[in-house]
Amino acid sequence: MEGVELAVGYLFAWAVSKARRVAGRADAEVDQALDAGMDRLHDVVATRLGREPALESVTREVTDGREEPTPETRNQLELALTDTASRDAEFAEALQRAVEQVRAAQASADPGPGKSTVSGNTINGGS
């Protein structure tokens, strides 16, 4: 399915962003459209995959301070998303729409110094 790799990167970025907020390290001016899109993507995935071990690995890796998922976690999550999307057309559509929403928000955002952005599958900025 197109966009699965982006979905994994965005999901990890979402988790990092949430962890930073909880820790009080988030930028005060987080782009709301991008944040809303990433929240939507997480909701779509978490609702359908539930307690998927790869999602739990994302949370654990973010808690451990990682800025990117390990290759194993990335592969596991890509496989879970691809498998689920291949068996559930409604989920595949919702996932595609959520990824497109994040991509559109990212494209229209004009992040300045210190703002977090998602580039491909890499998280940049913000500290």
The C-alpha atoms of residue 50 and residue 28 are separated, in whole angstroms, by 30
Reading the block at residue 25, the tokens are 């390290």
Tell me the pTM.
0.66
Residue 120 lies in a domain: no
| Helix ranges restricted to H, 50-88 | 53-63, 71-87
Give the residue among 5, 2, 112 at the shortest CA–CA distance from 124.
Answer: 112
67-85 average pLDDT score:
92
What is the pLDDT averaged over residues 20-25? 49
pLDDT of amino acid 43: 92
Higher-pLDDT residue of 88, 116: 88
Which pLDDT band holds residue 14 (cuts at 50, 70, 90)?
confident
Task: Tell me how many domains the chain contains.
Answer: 1
Domain interval for residue 20: 4-108
Q: Does any domain span residue 18? A: yes
Q: Is residue 36 part of a domain?
A: yes
**117-119 and 122-124 strand pairing:** antiparallel
> Does a structural domain hold residue 115?
no
Q: Please report whether residue 125 resides in a domain.
A: no
